[in-house]
Amino acid sequence: MQHGGIAEKGRRLMTDLILPQCGACGTVIYPRREICPDCLSDDIADQTMTAEGVLLARVDLQHSLEPYFQDHMPWPTGTVQLKRGPVMIAHLVNGALTTGAAVDIQQMMDIKGRPVMVAVPLGSPTFTWADVEKGRQI
């Protein structure tokens, strides 16, 4: 099922990230904003960039209000700083990932068909949501 360039549930969306970047000062803006938070320019355009980053911090969630996650606790998540600067929150595909690990961000659809970010060890193959479920126990 395709929906505006978004793949089926559980499928990977793309290999690189498309994030807004300021044309005036070069700041990569995440989350998306209408003006640059650094120079206040409205010259913002989407740019394709590497999805590589570093795991800054991780936490194993012990509780969730989402019924799906309630049955899959603990669930590893973390913050990843991309090489281009922005920090994003991501699911961790590998429960053994530690702070400081080099990771790739993969975009995919979660179990309900919502786009999510997933951090995987740098150089890992393409994952699906089923791999995220299995890999969180590694």
Structure tokens at 3: 């929906």
For the chain, the domains span 51-138
Convert the pLDDT of each residue in 3-61 to its tens digit: 333 344 444 445 578 889 999 999 999 889 999 999 999 999 999 888 899 999 999 88
Strand, coil or helix: what is 131?
helix
Structure tokens at 9: 């549930």
Q: Is the whole-model pTM more than 0.85?
A: no
Fold of 51-138: OB fold (Dihydrolipoamide Acetyltransferase, E2P) (2.40.50)
- As a whole number of Å, the end-to-end CA separation of the chain is 30
